[in-house]
Amino acid sequence: MADFLGMMKQAAQLQSKMQEMQEQLGNVEVEGISGGGLVAVRMTAKMEVKGVKIDPSLMKAEEREVLEDLLVTAHGDARRKAEAAMQEKMAALTGGLGLPPGLGLT
């Protein structure tokens, strides 16, 4: 019975830490870049886009398709970085909890 109570306490601690981590993820920002820095997308680790920067040289009608491609690429880069930041936070959170293998919650 002591093991069960210990597991319940551990689960409550995990839930509290998960809520805290969710709040922190909103404050973690990453920047995805494409075109050698011509386009940048800034987003939180919760995948909320916060800003887009576009080099003025791409603001020409004939560069529209290039700009569209660079935006997609920069967004993808930012998303990968945001996912990595989230996984890093999760590893820090679950690392000391002694969870069984395969129950990493990520």
CB atoms within 10 A of CB 25: 18
How much is the pTM?
Answer: 0.69
- Which residues touch 91 (CB under 8 Å, ≥6 apart)? 104, 106
Reported as a single tens digit per residue, the pLDDT across 13-37 is 878 888 888 888 888 899 999 999 9
Closest CA to 105 of 30, 25, 11, 8: 11
- Asked whether residue 43 is domain-assigned, the answer is yes
How many domains are contained in the chain?
A: 1
Reported as a single tens digit per residue, the pLDDT across 77-103 is 999 999 998 888 888 776 655 555 555
User: Residue 74 is encoded by which pair of tokens?
Assistant: 């920069």
Q: Please report, for the domain that includes residue 75, its CATH number.
A: 3.30.1310.10
Range of the domain at 83: 21-94
* Rg of the Cα atoms in the chain: 20
